[in-house]
């Protein structure tokens, strides 16, 4: 299908982009890599009157150490994360997840910021952002403000980002190498039906577990985390904790999988991810 007509702007700076977004408000959409917005526009699920293309703002694409954390520009493509030596050394979970996204064409064009803001419940990045306790820096007409990952995802395709704000940067801590991501994907698209990201902190015997694809928004499996806090990661303790991966969660029920099957996959993949991360301690 052909999208509805719209006005197109290509700002050269973040300040110009924010100004345009503030001027046009909810009539405008920001175009990053285009792999989420353009298909939605072609199907007329999204019909913005104004499209603001930030793809030419070069200073939004980077991966660097900054103030004790690793800063990733919102326009950084998935492929750059996949091949980053800094991330492989300091935050290997992100480098491990990137190859799971789409295909080579998608990874070369799609961006981490665009994916996070789109907040597709089946996207891969949200699980990682949650378990890393990431901080997302957003910019609007009144300046910048940080949003914690736990507060960023609000509901199905909804985030805490305001209509006149743009995601500028994602900041993540360095982690141990004991991480893992396991997912069951839709065969055609590669989107997660149930994806589980895990970080094992052997130093204080805690684990972080994030789940995507199962519910209307990604979530931390806090029941699993509490069950394993201070406990040795044995096959028995992991299996017992993984049973709580969908505790108090209302799983999605659609053409790809029933709610019951998604809850089952959350348990299975949580167990597998925990076992893999524990083996890397």
Q: Token digits for 280? A: 């890397």
Q: What is the mean pLDDT of the chain?
A: 95
Tell me the mean pLDDT in the region 27-39: 89
Architecture of domain 7-53: 2-Layer Sandwich (3.30)
Each residue's pLDDT tens digit, 84-141 = 999 999 999 999 999 999 888 889 999 999 999 999 999 999 999 999 999 999 999 9
Distance CA 48, CA 50 (A): 5
Whether domain 58-172 has CATH 3.30.465.10: yes
pTM over 0.75: yes
Other Cβ atoms less than 10 A from the Cβ of 3: the count is 17
pLDDT tens column, 53-69:
999 898 999 999 999 99
Residues written for the chain: 281
Give the three-state DSSP class for 136.
Answer: strand
Q: What is the pLDDT of residues 155-193, one digit of tens each?
A: 999 999 999 999 999 999 999 999 999 999 998 889 999
Cα–Cα–Cα angle for 212, 213, 214, nearest 5°? 95
Give the range among 43-47, 118-122, 179-183, 260-264 with minimum mean pLDDT.
Answer: 43-47
**CATH 3.30.390.50 is the classification of domain 179-279:** yes
* Mean pLDDT across 192-204: 96
Would you kindly state where each structural domain of the chain is located, as residue ranges?
7-53, 58-172, 179-279
Dist. CA 232–CA 238, nearest whole Å: 9
H-type alpha helices, the chain: 14-24, 37-42, 78-82, 85-90, 92-97, 104-109, 112-118, 125-131, 149-152, 222-228, 235-242, 259-279
């Amino acid at each position: 299908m052909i999208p509805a007509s719209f006005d197109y702007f290509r700002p050269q700076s973040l300040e110009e982009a924010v100004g345009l977004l503030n001027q046009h408000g909810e009539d405008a959409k920001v175009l990053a890599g285009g792999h989420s917005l353009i298909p939605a526009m072609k199907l007329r699920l999204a019909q913005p009157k104004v499209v603001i293309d930030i793809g030419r703002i070069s200073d939004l694409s980077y991966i660097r150490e900054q103030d004790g954390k690793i800063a990733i520009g919102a326009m950084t493509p998935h492929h750059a994360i996949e091949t980053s030596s800094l991330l492989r050394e300091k935050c290997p979970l992100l480098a491990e997840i990137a190859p799971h996204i789409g295909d080579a064409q998608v990874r070369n064009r799609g961006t981490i910021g665009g994916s996070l803001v789109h907040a597709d419940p089946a996207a891969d990045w949200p699980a990682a952002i949650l378990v890393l306790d990431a901080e997302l820096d957003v910019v609007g007409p009144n300046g910048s403000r940080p949003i914690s990952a736990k507060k960023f995802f609000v509901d199905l395709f909804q985030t805490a980002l305001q209509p006149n704000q743009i995601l500028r940067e994602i900041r993540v801590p360095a982690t141990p190498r004991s991480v893992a991501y396991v997912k069951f994907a839709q065969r055609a698209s590669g989107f997660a039906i149930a994806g589980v990201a895990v970080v094992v902190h052997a130093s204080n015997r805690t684990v972080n577990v994030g789940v995507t694809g199962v519910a209307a928004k990604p979530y931390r499996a806090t029941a699993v985390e509490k069950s394993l806090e201070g406990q040795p990661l044995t096959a028995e303790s992991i299996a017992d904790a993984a049973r709580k991966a969908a505790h108090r969660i209302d799983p999605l029920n659609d053409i790809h999988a029933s709610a019951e099957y998604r809850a089952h996959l959350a348990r299975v993949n949580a167990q597998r991810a925990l076992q893999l991360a524990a083996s890397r301690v």
